[in-house]
Each structure stands twice: as C-alpha cells, then as structure tokens.
Amino acid sequence: MKVILIKDVEKIGKLGETIDVSDGYARNFLMPKKLAMASNPLNARRAENIKLKTERALQAEINAAKEFAEKLSKVSCTVAVQVGPDEKLYGSVTPADMQKALEVEGFNIDKKQISMDAQVEKLGVYHFNVKVHPEVHATVKLWVVKR
C-alpha cells in the first residue's frame, strides 16, 4: 500500500515522502498513530501543506534559538573555587557548576546542554559550548577564580 508520511518515521522515511509499505503495517500502525495517510492527490496536497507549516515552525524555532545563543554568547560567567598552593583546583569545574553560574546571570540552561572541550583544573579563562538547539550552539566565556 502506498502512503504519504505525515511525520518523520525512524527507519521508514521523512515527512512528505510517499512510501510503499505492507497493508497491515499501514492500517494497523502508521494510520492509527497519524504517522501516514493513504496516497492520493488530495492527501498529497495536505501533506505538502503540513510539510510547509512544519518547516516554517522549525525555521521560527531556529531563529529564536539563534537570538538566544547570541545573547548567551555575550555573557561571561564566574566560578569561584578553592585552590591549592600551586593554583591547582581541588576537584574540577563541572557542567553543574557552569549551570549555576549561568543561572546567576539569568539564563536557565540544563547541564546536559553544556559541553566542555577540556577539563577545567586550573584558574583562568575557559570557553564552553551550550547546545541551545540541535542546530544552534553558543560559546560562553568562563572565568575560574580563587575563592
């Protein structure tokens, strides 16, 4: 049975694609879950409209994420830590510490969105990446200072 996908389906296809699947799979899985509809000219137009709306919404989401990333990139965070006699940290600075520093600056970011290039083990200035959106990243400056 030929169907038009209404949403992206993993290992099957993307939104708007016309695919050929077994009748049972189409009737018992794809159609009841509103993942696909029967292939005909009317549904093809509907699928195209759905695809356009989805693309517009995704583009608006990306633009909002870019604006947020731009604001975030202008921020400089400070983390105060205890250090030993040779300016080496007791422990290291973690994404959770960076998250708290960003919250002080007024940004609510999940620590899972923060990625570090290198381990922070000494005082100084570091840069870390924040994944704002799957396609948008921001680089934030982090000052590690003595407490």
Give the pLDDT band of residue 93 (cuts 50, 70, 90).
confident
Q: Is the pTM of this model over 0.75?
A: no
Amino acid at 120: V
Whole-number pLDDT of residue 9: 92
Span 31-45, pLDDT tens digits: 999 999 999 999 999
For the chain, the maximum distance between any two Cα atoms, rounded to a whole number of angstroms, is 75
Domains of the chain plus CATH, in order, are 2-67 (3.40.5.10), 75-146 (3.10.430.100)
CA distance 89 to 97: 13
